[in-house]
Amino acid sequence: MKFYKRVGCFAPIPMSDGKYYGAILAFIQTIFGQGNLWDVFLRSGGLPSMLGFLLTIFAFLIVIYIQDVRVELPIAHASYKGFRGRYPVNLLYVSNIPVIIASALFSNVYLFSQIFWSRFNQDNANFWLNLFGTYNASNPSAGPMGGLAYYITSPRGLEEILYDPFRAVIYGAIMISVCALFSIVWIEIGGMDPKTVAKQLVDAGLQIPGFRRSEMTIQTILDRYIPTLAILGGLIVGVLTVVTDFFGVFGTGMGILLAVSILYQYYETLIRESAAEMYPMMRSLLGRR
């Protein structure tokens, strides 16, 4: 049963309204005369809907497009005068790392709020622990009812948003802000800051045409792009995650970002391998032997 419910498109579980749990199966039932199409596009009770299915496809297309948006800086090799290329600085410079870290942080807060509530605050009488998270004593698995744990848990679907729009606004603001913050932190601790990238380019024998070949010069140019794109990329992945979660896409917004980024990394690996085979002198630049 749990396995089928994870397959929101084709889960053959009959529901109380006579429709199957899976969105596409329920849609097919409706086409053949069992109910109103509008009820399938906007299903109540958090059930998978055709709106969520269409938005999932749309979200994939948007993420794929944004993944390929970049600023390309011209580069040249100091030793090979004929070698010219472009160094790409992607709009999603830090990929989906910020939203992964943010989700991990929120999960830990949620976990510890459950532990503290079950040990010390099952009657929801402690004011300070209530700020951390409150739960229903008769059904704690239903999720938090208040506190920080409540506001960092995404409302799924339009029904939950309309029930408590303030929660949706707070969750969106926290997620987007945290993603932007972690983007700045990650470029520093992940070796993606302008200073480190400039050193890597100089060590590889590369320079920007028209500028003196030095780390300071390249760093100055990269300072114009990398910090801005890192923050903007963090804001974008935060907004994508929030919006897709609000509209109940299949697999959550973070899942879509992960799927697209993994596929894109495989694609880039294949391109680098092909380039290393065609141009052996690029092996040192690509980290190959």
CATH 1.10.3370.10 fits 49-286, yes or no: yes
Q: What is the pLDDT of residues 148-185, one digit of tens each?
A: 999 998 887 777 888 889 999 999 999 999 999 999 99
Please answer whether residues 250 and 8 qualify as being in contact, where contact means their C-beta atoms are separated by less than 8 angstroms.
yes
Q: What is the pLDDT of residues 225-242, one digit of tens each?
A: 999 999 999 999 999 889
* Short-list 168, 147, 169, 170, CA closest to 156: 168
Q: What is the pLDDT of residues 15-54, one digit of tens each?
A: 766 677 777 777 777 777 766 666 667 766 667 777 778 8
* Short-list 171, 160, 186, CA closest to 241: 171
CA distances from 31 to 19, 27, 42, 280 (A): 12, 6, 15, 58
**At residue 90, what are phi and psi to the nearest 5 degrees?**
-70, 150
Please, where in the chain does CATH 1.10.3370.10 lie? 49-286
Q: What is the pLDDT of residues 176-227, one digit of tens each?
A: 999 999 999 999 888 889 999 888 888 877 888 877 778 888 889 899 999 9
Tokens of 146: 């208040």
Tokens of 107: 């999960």
